[in-house]
Structure 1
Amino acid sequence: MVSHIDSDKEDKNSFSAREGFAIFVRLLGYVRPYLKRLALGFVVLLIGAIMTAVVPLIIRTSVDQIITENNTQLLDQVLLLLIGIFLFQSILNYIEHIVMAYVGESVVANLRKRLFDHLQSLSMSFYNNSRTGDIVTRITSDSSLVQQSISFELVQILNQIITIVIGLIVLFVLNWRLTAIILLAVPLIFGLTFFLGLRIQKAANRMQTNLAEAANVVEENIQGVQVVKSFAQQRYENQRFSGNVHNTFLAALGLARLYASMIALTGFLGFATISITLWYGTREVLLGQFTAGGVVAYLLLALSVVAAMGISVMSYGQIQSALGAARRIFDMIDIIPEITEHPDARQLAAVRGEVHLENVSHAYEPNTSVLRGITIHASPGQTIALVGPSGAGKSTLVNLIPRFYDVSEGAIRIDGHDIRNVTLESLNQQIGIVPQETFLFAQSIAGNIRYGKSDATQAEVEEAARAANAHNFIVNDLSDGYETLVGERGVKLSGGQRQRISIARAILKNPRILILDEATSSLDSESERLIQDALNRLMQGRTSFVIAHRLSTIVNADWIVVLNNGQIVEQGTHTDLVDRSEGFYQKLYKFQFALDQSSAA
């Protein structure tokens, strides 16, 4: 089962012609809803190609008649007729490009929405093993390549193929001997195109992969700019980014060389064919086997056919690049979520809040258990505190309750329902989480609080903020109050302010089950007091799982579970545990008490 992007697979940068065709067919599935518009575009293309073939026939007849009859009036009439034809062709070109642009933009919009929707369904393990820049590149850069291919290149190649087919038929009617010369060049041109096209696809995929790597470096540097500056590593990061950009440059240069080779070689074959045709056609005129008008018409149409071959060659190369981009998109869409709903999953209605972990074990990787044999029973409204050293498995345990990960063994039940048998949306509607590292969206404070309840009124938002001890700083310290934009990840607010916004968001959601993951860690005393007060209000009447950073914050918990190395080593009330001689909890408590005394001194 694929659960993340396989970078090793990406580095191969190639797929067979059969795989390329399969990707193309799959891409056409996204075009299917727009078949009527495609049909209109095809009809317009067909009319345009027929008119392109008709023009040389008009010129042949006109030139022969004008020369033999010295008819200047006919010359004027032909000029007006040709201008009218070219004007009509311009209108057809406009319609064709508008229709195909609509189809291309619609397809890429649906593809992006499909990919983003799929990303929402992927498990936490996918994000733990994937890089943000790579994901963003697929949604933006790769999908743009696909859009360009459908909107423009697909039109071009269809247009040129129709022009080539109709043109060759007319050329054959005009002079089959000259056409035989052109037909000799066709397999050479298209054979060369296919040969170089496969290499273009590899080079384009390599360039997109390098571009994603560069995007990863940019994304990391923006998020970690403070670390970069504090360690004076700007030069190193510049070198790292320059290396990625240079690799992208080399890949792009390799791609350009392939395109240049394709253009040069096919161009040579095309013009060589025209030159031989001109030589042979002129000989036939001199021998009286062909008229001057016929030669002019033939050369004009032959030039159109050869030009169409050249354009189709370029379009084929671009489509190969787009197929590589489409494969990268489909590779991500094909990733199977590790956390899925049971086919008969039921809605989890409003719950009382009873949570039962039954002999739960969990392993992120096979044979490396992080939790083993965990059994905890939380009655409705009860507060369960989880304590233990770093790496004991506390965060992993609480992440199993909302099914961010699945248990390897055992079961978790809420009000008697196995959480694997209920819908994920209804499960998460019952659970509120206040994490250690608060994430705020780059929008207003009101918008961030309202994330807990999208249809909340302003009064409800403010009530939640008051309960979280956030209202005063919002209206007194921020110039725009609740409409203040917090910046990316809430960077414009302090850590304590961000945490209180997070608590307000959870209060507004009004969940029956609450998870607090060291929500008061790394805060000053005043911020901790305000937040702890808000958390106490939030926990009232709710089943709460609290990961404690400071043991003083959980002395009033109904039940304390002590974890070490993924196992429960002790559990009980604070009074029971602190009185256990040489107990694990007692040692933790005494150690932390000694640190607090030392800090106070």
Structure 2
Amino acid sequence: MPHPHAADAPPEPPRPPRSLIATLRRILAFARPYRTRLVLAIALTLVATAVGLVVPLGLQRLLDSVFQATDGTLLNQLALALLGLFALQAVLGFGGSYLMEWTGERVVTDLRTTLYTHLHRLGLRFFSDQRTGEITSRLTNDVSKVQSAATSDLGDALRLALTLVGSVALMLALNWRLSLVIFAVVPPIAWAMRSFGQIVRTLSRTIQDRLADTTAIAEEAIAGVRVVKAFAREGYEVGRYGEAVEGLFETSRRRAWIVAAFWSSVGFGFSTALVVIFWFGGREVLADRLTAGALVAFIVYALNIARSVAGAGRLYTSFQSAAGASDRLFELLDSEPEIVDAPGARPLPSVRGALDLEAVTFGYVDGQPILRDVSISAAPGETVALVGPSGAGKTTLLHLIPRFYDPDTGTLRIDGVDVRDATVDSVRDAVALVAQDVQLFGVSLRDNIRYGRLDASDAEVEAAARAAHADAFIEALPDGYDTPVGERGVKLSGGQRQRIAIARALLKDPPILLLDEATSALDAASEAAVQEALSELMQGRTSVVIAHRLATVRDADRIVVLDGGRVVEEGTHTELVARGGLYAGLAARQFTAGGDGVGVLE
């Protein structure tokens, strides 16, 4: 029977875009820990905006009372009052803007952290299905879109909303008949804005997708720059990138055309409305049904409404762009981790290193198993070598042990405990992997070795380097252990990178060691040095070794031969050669080809 946590849930189809309100609500959920600051920011912003709405009434008083009565004292008082209002508005506006920006930046910081944390919870299958540049684009470009909406745009939206509502109310109080002119213009613009926003959101999502493509192409070419130069494919890569950025430009151009055309039309509509207000209001003043001051105040409020609607449109466009980016972010956040702790999972107790795989079947794609009914065991401290043709499933089997993947059926046990009943961290703490393609980080040699155990002292790091036979070349460098290795360790040779990886594994000191062709890409001199370091590393540990070189595997306690995802032979080197099966044939071809026992076992 399959373990209840063995099968991965089938991937969900892409979710349809959420509504703008639903998306913004989910973003604002990150603001809950800071709601006190947010509420205070909103209050200050609203009061500052309300103070600004009083200013046109002061202008009305200035025109209707002060100038007609030629009262200098009243003029001074009114000027001081207006100055006080502006000062109050500035102080309140500062407080509201700062708190709003602070909250927005805090929300975006938490969003970035949540995304990055979630990424590290996802299994290897997710990363196998995604381009690195696509993931990077979501963490950078998409979050930047959300950042704008969550900071300054949110405060602007509050100010514009109150300005719009307050201006409408005060216009009605001044002259309801003139207000009808504005009311005739705003509803159709609002209706058009809704359709316009959906178009912008779709285009914005497409732009973010195309931007992710350009990032992925550039990142792949830069990471593989040696291959690009070796094949003289600089022109080809420039062409690929140029084609991607031209596609990005074309989509951006379409959005720019739609945005420009829409807002030019809106501007013309409001300008026409203001001309009608000026004409009709002037006739009202001439007929003594409206004062000149009231007309000026009315026009100021009408301009406020025009600016508010135009600003709302800009913000709507920004929010729709942010919503398109948010769809991509939440699509990532909604990806379910495949490898998680089962309910009631417990850490492995002190691990001795016994390994048992019982009737394990696994495939990356449903219905296409890579491993078929594989059963293998290793006693504590035993070395088991896996050999077989390419594609036999050796590396896949190795990746099941630290739970990079879970079997579709069958069971994998460490010290008799099903790994799915133990916590993921405790399983991985018990295992170290040294692969052919060593992954180093762009920090110092010391920090790369310390990655095996973050609390290790400098003395422990240096002891691990000595045990891995890496101390000689490290100490010969100008900065010694503090020498940066470059991105992915490009400043080191293959043998040097391997010895750093071995030192890292030694520092971790795990009971189970996995070696995936750790010497297959090295020259003879480097292989000898690395093999000596590996012998040190394997002492007293359960070791599962994948190797193509006969010299690497013939001293193993047991050799397991895989072919077509099945175990076809098992035994010592001597026993398997005597049987005359697949292993004997592979070994015979090595001696025939090389004559020294160090050829490729494949």
TM-score with structure 2 length normalisation?
A: 0.95
- Relative distance call for 1:51 and 1:600 in structure 2 (3 A) is closer
Other-structure match for 1:336: 336
Other-structure match for 2:510: 511
Amino acid at match of 1:503: I
Q: Is the 8 A contact 2:549 2:598 kept in 1?
A: no
Other-structure match for 1:489: 488
Amino acid at match of 2:285: V
Other-structure match for 1:176: 176
Other-structure match for 2:39: 39
Amino acid at match of 1:545: V
Q: Which of 588, 594, 597 is the equivalent residue of 1:596? A: 594
Other-structure match for 1:567: 566
Report the alpha carbon displacement of residue 94 of structure 1 after superposing the two structures with TM: 2.1
- Relative distance call for 1:226 and 1:3 in structure 2 (3 A) is farther
User: 1:42-86 CA deviation, whole Å, 9 max, x = no partner?
Assistant: 111221221122111111122111232123443344334323322
Answer yes or no: is 1:584 the counterpart of 2:582.
yes
User: 1:224-245 CA deviation, whole Å, 9 max, x = no partner?
Assistant: 1111111111111111101111
Q: Is the 8 A contact 1:285 1:292 kept in 2?
A: yes
Q: Return the alpha-carbon distance in structure 2 between the equivalents of residues 144 and 506 of structure 1.
A: 38
Amino acid at match of 1:590: A
Report the alpha carbon displacement of residue 303 of structure 1 after superposing the two structures with TM: 1.0
Query: Which aligned pairs between 1:518-533 and structure 2 lie closer than 5 A?
Result: 518-533=517-532
Q: Return the alpha-carbon distance in structure 1 between the equivalents of residues 131 and 509 of structure 2.
A: 33
- Matched residue of 2:285: which SS? helix
Q: Is the 8 A contact 2:502 2:534 kept in 1?
A: yes
Report the alpha carbon displacement of residue 4 of structure 1 after superposing the two structures with TM: 7.2
Query: Which aligned pairs between 1:124-143 and structure 2 lie closer than 5 A?
Result: 124-143=124-143
- Matched residue of 1:348: which SS? coil
- Matched residue of 1:295: which SS? helix
Report the alpha carbon displacement of residue 573 of structure 1 after superposing the two structures with TM: 0.6
Report the alpha carbon displacement of residue 599 of structure 1 after superposing the two structures with TM: 11
Other-structure match for 1:59: 59
Q: Return the alpha-carbon distance in structure 1 between the equivalents of residues 356 and 454 of structure 2.
A: 30
Report the alpha carbon displacement of residue 548 of structure 1 after superposing the two structures with TM: 1.2
Q: Return the alpha-carbon distance in structure 1 between the equivalents of residues 434 and 328 of structure 2.
A: 35
Number of equivalent positions: 592
Query: Which aligned pairs between 1:267-282 and structure 2 lie closer than 5 A?
Result: 267-282=267-282
Q: Return the alpha-carbon distance in structure 1 between the equivalents of residues 267 and 286 of structure 2.
A: 28
Query: Is there any run of 5+ residues in structure 1 with no aligned partner, and where?
Result: none
Other-structure match for 1:455: 455
Report the alpha carbon displacement of residue 258 of structure 1 after superposing the two structures with TM: 2.2
Q: Return the alpha-carbon distance in structure 2 between the equivalents of residues 277 and 484 of structure 1.
A: 73
Q: Return the alpha-carbon distance in structure 1 between the equivalents of residues 401 and 39 of structure 2.
A: 52
Other-structure match for 2:231: 231
Q: Is the 8 A contact 2:551 2:597 kept in 1?
A: no
Q: Return the alpha-carbon distance in structure 2 between the equivalents of residues 549 and 81 of structure 1.
A: 88
Other-structure match for 2:106: 106
Report the alpha carbon displacement of residue 598 of structure 1 after superposing the two structures with TM: 8.8
Q: Return the alpha-carbon distance in structure 1 between the equivalents of residues 9 and 76 of structure 2.
A: 69
Percent identity of equivalent pairs: 43
- Relative distance call for 1:501 and 1:5 in structure 2 (3 A) is farther
Q: Is the 8 A contact 2:591 2:597 kept in 1?
A: no
Q: Return the alpha-carbon distance in structure 2 between the equivalents of residues 241 and 27 of structure 1.
A: 33
Q: Is the 8 A contact 1:4 1:129 kept in 2?
A: no
Q: Return the alpha-carbon distance in structure 2 between the equivalents of residues 19 and 596 of structure 1.
A: 67
Q: Return the alpha-carbon distance in structure 2 between the equivalents of residues 398 and 453 of structure 1.
A: 22
Q: Is the 8 A contact 1:562 1:568 kept in 2?
A: yes
Q: Return the alpha-carbon distance in structure 2 between the equivalents of residues 79 and 305 of structure 1.
A: 25
User: 1:510-547 CA deviation, whole Å, 9 max, x = no partner?
Assistant: 00001000111111112111111111111111100000
Q: Return the alpha-carbon distance in structure 1 between the equivalents of residues 354 and 11 of structure 2.
A: 34
Answer yes or no: is 1:401 the counterpart of 2:401.
yes
Q: Is the 8 A contact 2:358 2:375 kept in 1?
A: yes
User: 1:431-477 CA deviation, whole Å, 9 max, x = no partner?
Assistant: 0110111000000000000000101011100110011000111102x
Other-structure match for 2:261: 261
Q: Return the alpha-carbon distance in structure 1 between the equivalents of residues 250 and 80 of structure 2.
A: 51
- RMSD (Å), alpha carbons: 1.8
Other-structure match for 1:346: 346
Q: Is the 8 A contact 2:48 2:90 kept in 1?
A: no
Q: Is the 8 A contact 1:259 1:314 kept in 2?
A: no
Q: Return the alpha-carbon distance in structure 2 between the equivalents of residues 474 and 230 of structure 1.
A: 29
Q: Is the 8 A contact 2:134 2:212 kept in 1?
A: yes
Q: Return the alpha-carbon distance in structure 2 between the equivalents of residues 600 and 125 of structure 1.
A: 35
Other-structure match for 2:543: 544
User: 1:235-262 CA deviation, whole Å, 9 max, x = no partner?
Assistant: 1111110111111111111121222123
Report the alpha carbon displacement of residue 600 of structure 1 after superposing the two structures with TM: 10
Report the alpha carbon displacement of residue 5 of structure 1 after superposing the two structures with TM: 9.8
Q: Return the alpha-carbon distance in structure 1 between the equivalents of residues 160 and 11 of structure 2.
A: 40
Other-structure match for 2:320: 320
Report the alpha carbon displacement of residue 416 of structure 1 after superposing the two structures with TM: 0.7
Q: Return the alpha-carbon distance in structure 1 between the equivalents of residues 376 and 268 of structure 2.
A: 78
Other-structure match for 1:117: 117
Q: Is the 8 A contact 1:4 1:130 kept in 2?
A: no
- Matched residue of 1:219: which SS? helix
Other-structure match for 2:534: 535
Q: Is the 8 A contact 1:134 1:216 kept in 2?
A: yes
TM-score with structure 1 length normalisation?
A: 0.96
Report the alpha carbon displacement of residue 556 of structure 1 after superposing the two structures with TM: 1.3
- Relative distance call for 1:550 and 1:599 in structure 2 (3 A) is closer
User: 1:272-303 CA deviation, whole Å, 9 max, x = no partner?
Assistant: 22211111111110111011111111111221
- Matched residue of 2:250: which SS? helix
**Structure 1 ranges of 4+ moved more than 4 A:** 1-6, 598-601
Q: Is the 8 A contact 1:520 1:549 kept in 2?
A: no
Q: Is the 8 A contact 2:45 2:97 kept in 1?
A: no
Other-structure match for 2:4: none
Query: Is there any run of 5+ residues in structure 2 with no aligned partner, and where?
Result: 1-7
Answer yes or no: is 1:212 the counterpart of 2:231.
no
- Matched residue of 1:579: which SS? helix
Report the alpha carbon displacement of residue 186 of structure 1 after superposing the two structures with TM: 1.8
Report the alpha carbon displacement of residue 376 of structure 1 after superposing the two structures with TM: 0.9
Other-structure match for 1:365: 365
Q: Is the 8 A contact 1:123 1:405 kept in 2?
A: yes
Q: Return the alpha-carbon distance in structure 2 between the equivalents of residues 316 and 5 of structure 1.
A: 30
- Matched residue of 2:579: which SS? coil
Q: Return the alpha-carbon distance in structure 1 between the equivalents of residues 105 and 11 of structure 2.
A: 28
Q: Return the alpha-carbon distance in structure 1 between the equivalents of residues 482 and 303 of structure 2.
A: 64
- Relative distance call for 1:5 and 1:239 in structure 2 (3 A) is farther
